[in-house]
Amino acid sequence: MATFPLALTAILGKPLAYLIFLLIGFAFGFVLESSGFAHSPKLAAQFYFKDMTVLKVMFTGIIVAMVLIFASTALGWLDYRLIWVNPTYLWPGIVGGLIMGVGFIIGGFCPGTSLTALATLKLDGVFFVLGAFFGIFAFGETVETFTVWWHSSYMGRFTLPQLFGVETGWVVLGVVLMALFMFWGSEQLEKIFGGQDPKQAPKWRYYGAGALVVVALAIVMMGQPTTADRWAKIAPEKNFELDARTYQIEPIELLHTMHDHKLNLIMLDVRDEADYNMFHIMDAERISTEEIHNRIDEFIAEPANTVFVVMSNDEANATEVWKTLVAESVHNVYILGGGVNGWLDNFASDFEADFCGDVKTASNDELRYNFSAALGASCPAAYPPIEDYEEVEYSPKIQLELKRAPASGGCG
């Protein structure tokens, strides 16, 4: 069964995929127009508490989408890591929100609703869009003067479960209840300031609210899939491929990949600090198994030409980290076959007299070479000269997989 979201441009081709995107945009604009969001007085009325349609429609869209997304992830239908979440730049975001809010009050539109008004040839929508284009131009011409502040207070892909330190399901339930309370409060404000009678509103809204609460409670009960859950889903296929050594690359292939400038190579050394300091491959980054989980989003966001190679002294620890990365939707991940010991078996012989002592007997995933000192990457075997091995034959295994990552997004 396919896990969504699907990479439509790769599956259907750009023309058909873009047609689908166009239809989705048209449908969104149609909903905005049908809700009266192309009429600036209606939009501005929310700031005077006379007509809270904007709040009710937009928050309804937000909580319905949120409930469906996390219900789908709980059922294993959707990979949440492949959904774009805007990175948080705290203070620039706060200031930008205030600027947009003031512009909304003055102009009567937000960027999306102004385009809806433009599509219906409303003059105020036309002028608002022209003003937005001028603002974009002015920002582009001046952003270099405050670039440091613009990129300040970066928090990455930061979400409410991380902020409050609670399970995703409880956050979903809390946001749904908060939204329903806001809907009730907005009806009271409309009654006081707009003279509207809440009793005239459709009765089916209560059934919709009840359904949202029920699904949110179900999300709490089901929970979100863990790394172990995700691995269990793909384990039969991936274990077969591991046994066939599909992802264990030879040291000579890694050496050639280190010189392939078309690829963005990231080598992850998951050994302890002592072994890493004793010897490591040039440009390999030491990372603990605990740090892996904290950097999954960073790894997913790497360019499409990125190849990850995980290594330990042999293969056992590297294989466990490989399973974690693959389960968490990081693509193009490989294991250094034979580990660092295998690398040294291939490349250290020429330098053994000067740098390495006797090869010792070691248990699984322990360093087998005795070094005279902690050489790190200063040992010549850390970066063997490629010209000495250009004629060595090997069976290449690295193949770039289809890039499925949240490469772009945002709100208009």
pLDDT of 189 reads 95
Tokens 């909903």 identify what position? Answer: 31
Taking the C-alpha atoms of residue 156 and residue 87, their distance in angstroms, rounded to an integer, is: 5
| pLDDT > 70: percent of the chain | 93
Q: Which of 211, 166, 171, 161 is nearest to 60 (CA)?
A: 211
Contact 74, 225 (CB under 8 A): yes
d(CA 150, CA 174): 31
Report the mean per-residue pLDDT for the chain.
89
Q: What is the C-alpha separation between 349 and 355, in angstroms, rounded? A: 10
- Whether the predicted pLDDT of 119 surpasses 50: yes
pLDDT at residue 2, rounded to an integer = 46
User: Coil, helix or strand for 270?
Assistant: coil
Beta bridge partners of 306: 264
Q: Return the closest-CA partner of residue 333 out of 287, 282, 265.
A: 265
Structure tokens at 254: 């890694």
Is 108 a residue whose pLDDT tops 50?
yes
Q: Is the pLDDT of residue 404 over 60?
A: no
Tell me the domains of the chain and their CATH numbers: 8-227 (no CATH), 228-388 (3.40.250.10)
Contact call for residues 326 and 299 (beta carbons, < 8 A) = no
How confident is the model at residue 86, as a pLDDT? 87
Output the pLDDT for position 11.
79
**Is pLDDT of 410 > 70?**
no
* pLDDT tens digit sequence for 36-62: 898 999 998 989 999 999 899 889 999
- Per the CB < 8 A criterion, the answer to whether 81 and 229 are in contact is no
* Residue 81 confidence (pLDDT): 84
Average pLDDT over residues 119-126: 92
Residue 370 φ then ψ, to 5°: -95, 115
Q: Check whether 232 has a pLDDT greater than 90.
A: yes
How far is the C-alpha of 250 from the C-alpha of 336, rounded, in Å?
6
Interatomic CA distance for residues 358 and 55, integer angstroms: 73
67: nearest Cα among 182, 200, 220, 189: 220
For residue 246, name the pLDDT band (cuts at 50, 70, 90).
very high
Can you name the residues that pair with 310 across neighbouring β-strands?
268, 335
Section 396-406 average pLDDT: 75
Residue 167: per-residue pLDDT: 95
- CA neighbours closer than 13 Å in the CB half-sphere of residue 387: 0
CB 257 within 8 A of CB 307: yes
Give the whole-angstrom CA distance, residue 180 versus residue 300. 35
Q: With bands split at pLDDT 50, 70 and 90, how would you rate the model's confidence at 1?
A: very low
Q: Does position 346 have pLDDT exceeding 80, yes or no? A: yes
Q: Tell me: the pLDDT tens digits for 131-176? A: 999 999 999 999 999 999 999 999 888 899 999 999 999 999 999 9
Q: Reply yes or no on whether the pLDDT at 91 is more than 50.
A: yes
Q: Name 70's Cβ contacts closer than 8 Å, sequence gap at least 6.
A: 80, 168, 169, 172, 219, 224
What is the C-alpha to C-alpha distance for residues 305 and 282, in angstroms, rounded to an integer? 20
Residues 6+ apart with CB under 8 A from 229: 76
Q: Which residues have a Cβ under 8 Å from the Cβ of 207 and sit 6 or more positions away?
A: none
